[in-house]
């Protein structure tokens, strides 16, 4: 909300400044009126694009872009997060072990810890929870 007020304030301010410049240019005759209008047009075009991108970017953030901050907040270790990603790819414990050059026992330990930390009962639920938190 504060940012919106600030940006719109700056927008109005720049508009007034352009008014003054144009008036001065008109009186002094240094600048041609076409040039002033062209500059105004370009500047406001860019402002429009920029503001729009900002607002749309905020809308899009919820979808996509993994939030690694939350991984730390959940106390998930590097290995655990790595295993979590493999789980979401649909691999079995055995397959994950082979892929990461670890024993199945190790993967089971990691999986158990993941389920505890994500508060999930099953690996499928862990996937769902992780995706909801934008960790995957």
Which residues of the shown chain bind DNA in the complex (CB under 7 A)? Answer: 75, 77-80, 92-94, 97, 100, 102-106, 108-112, 115-116, 121-124
- Tell me which of DNA, a copy of itself, none is bound by residue 15, counting a contact when its beta carbon lies within the kind-specific cut-off of 5 to 8 angstroms: a copy of itself
Q: Which of 92, 85, 90 is nearest to 114 (CA)?
A: 85
- Tell me which of a copy of itself, DNA, none is bound by residue 22, counting a contact when its beta carbon lies within the kind-specific cut-off of 5 to 8 angstroms: a copy of itself
List of residues contacting a copy of itself (CB under 8 A):
15, 18-19, 22-23, 26, 33-34, 36-38, 40-53, 56, 60, 63-64, 87-92, 120-129
Burial 31-54 (b: 16+ CB within 10 A, else e): eeeeebeeebeeeeeeeeeeeeee
| Residue showing tokens 């959940």 | 74
């Amino acid at each position: 909300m504060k940012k919106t007020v600030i940006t719109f304030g700056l927008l109005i301010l720049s508009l007034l400044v352009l008014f003054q410049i144009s008036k001065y240019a008109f009186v002094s005759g240094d600048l041609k009126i076409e040039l002033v209008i062209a500059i105004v047009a370009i500047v406001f075009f860019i402002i429009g694009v920029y503001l729009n991108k900002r607002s749309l970017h905020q809308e899009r953030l919820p979808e996509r872009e993994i939030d690694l901050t939350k991984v730390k907040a959940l106390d998930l270790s590097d290995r655990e997060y790595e295993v979590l990603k493999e789980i979401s790819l649909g691999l079995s414990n055995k397959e994950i072990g082979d892929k990461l050059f670890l024993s199945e026992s190790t993967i089971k330990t990691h999986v158990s810890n993941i389920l505890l930390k994500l508060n999930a009962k099953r690996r499928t639920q862990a996937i769902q929870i992780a995706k909801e938190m934008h960790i995957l």
